């Protein structure tokens, strides 16, 4: 089959079109004929190499897959061959104490499709049957592939971890990212007032279109100062951060008393410095979060399928142009998801 991947870690030039064998399905797997696969920042890090990540080469990236079932393992009764599906990219053992509690992202065996195992930059990918959800008949593959990772991540952050309530104020950093476009919509859907930041006026305009109420251009003013002024020195109830040390101390300064900072990444580095005294005195919660449980994935995808939440597609590229697609993502030019289509 045709795929795009790399034989060694490195820059964009390491990505190449490959001719590799079709994956062989295990008893509980399905083989999916990929029709669309969305990019994530994770794809760039995996290509460049992550500490402790040892991959079989060549490696095929791609976490967010939509397509139709082409073959099934011997123990699989559903989905059947021909069913159109989207896939939860979080892979889990299903047997440990955390999986038994339905907290699959805490599974010690937790893996992500395309990070630890071969992903969706290909004509075919194998995934566990239990990770699939069926697409409504009129639902497009490109939109379906744009949803899973960012919507499940934002859903767990806001609904499960930060427990947002109607009437609360939620600050979402970096409005153009996939997680942010999902978080803005989920917070709005939950009845919150949404603040969004970006350095780009154009991205802020798009953020407003998908539900952001208060726009902060962080190239004009530090966002913590802006929040302090816009809330008459109260602060916001919840901050959604995925940036890390570059924003973490400011995010904490944006929080009101009893506020929650929920974060799902540390793009700008591993260590942050902040004043502990301010956070304990004001009763702040600092909540780590990653990916979602299968239940959370199914809950948020049901809202996507009912059009209550809308995947934001920046641009689609054919699979063969994966390098151009990754370059656009690396330059942070996008608003929403960049998607590969597989003919
Ligand atoms: Zn487990």
The answer, yes or no, to whether the previous bond of 282 is cis (omega within 30 of 0) is no
Distance 139 CA to ligand 1 centre (A): 31
Distance 62 CA to ligand 1 centre (A): 22
Distance 293 CA to ligand 1 centre (A): 11
Distance 298 CA to ligand 1 centre (A): 18
The residue with greater pLDDT, 188 or 267, is 188
Distance 108 CA to ligand 1 centre (A): 6
- Which backbone phi and psi does 305 adopt, to 5 degrees? -65, -30
Distance 229 CA to ligand 1 centre (A): 45
* Residues 136-145 pLDDT 10s: 999 999 999 9
* Residues 118-138 pLDDT 10s: 999 999 999 999 999 999 999
Q: What is the pLDDT of residue 93?
A: 97
Mean pLDDT of 302-326: 97
Distance 100 CA to ligand 1 centre (A): 7
């Amino acid at each position: 089959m045709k795929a795009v991947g790399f034989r060694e870690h490195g820059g964009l030039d390491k990505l190449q079109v490959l001719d590799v064998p079709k994956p062989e399905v295990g008893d509980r797997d399905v083989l999916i004929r990929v029709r669309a696969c969305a990019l994530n920042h994770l794809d760039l890090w995996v290509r460049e190499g992550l500490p402790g990540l040892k991959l079989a080469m060549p490696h095929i990236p791609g976490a967010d897959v939509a397509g139709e079932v082409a073959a099934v393992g011997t123990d699989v009764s559903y989905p059947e061959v021909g069913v159109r599906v989207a896939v939860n990219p979080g892979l889990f053992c299903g047997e440990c104490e955390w999986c038994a509690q339905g907290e699959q992202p805490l599974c010690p065996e937790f893996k992500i499709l395309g990070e630890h195992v071969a992903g969706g930059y290909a004509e075919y990918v194998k995934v566990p049957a239990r990770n699939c959800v069926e697409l409504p008949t009129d639902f497009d593959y490109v939109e379906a592939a744009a949803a899973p990772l960012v919507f499940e991540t934002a859903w767990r952050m806001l609904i499960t971890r930060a427990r947002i309530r109607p009437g609360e104020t939620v600050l979402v950093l970096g409005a153009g990212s996939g997680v942010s476009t999902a978080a803005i919509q989920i917070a709005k859907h939950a009845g919150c007032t949404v603040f969004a930041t970006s350095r780009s006026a154009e991205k802020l305009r798009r953020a407003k279109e998908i539900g952001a109420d208060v726009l902060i251009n962080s190239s004009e003013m530090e966002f913590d100062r802006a929040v302090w002024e816009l809330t008459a020195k109260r602060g916001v109830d919840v901050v959604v951060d995925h940036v890390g040390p570059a924003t973490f101390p400011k995010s904490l300064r944006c929080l009101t008393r009893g506020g929650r900072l929920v974060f799902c990444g540390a793009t700008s580095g591993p260590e942050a410095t902040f004043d502990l005294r301010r956070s304990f005195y004001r009763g702040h919660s600092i909540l780590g979060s990653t990916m979602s449980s299968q239940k959370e994935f199914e809950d948020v995808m049901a809202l996507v399928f009912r059009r209550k939440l809308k995947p934001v597609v920046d641009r689609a590229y054919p699979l063969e142009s994966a390098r151009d697609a990754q370059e656009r993502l690396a330059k942070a030019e996008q608003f929403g998801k960049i998607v590969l289509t597989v003919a």
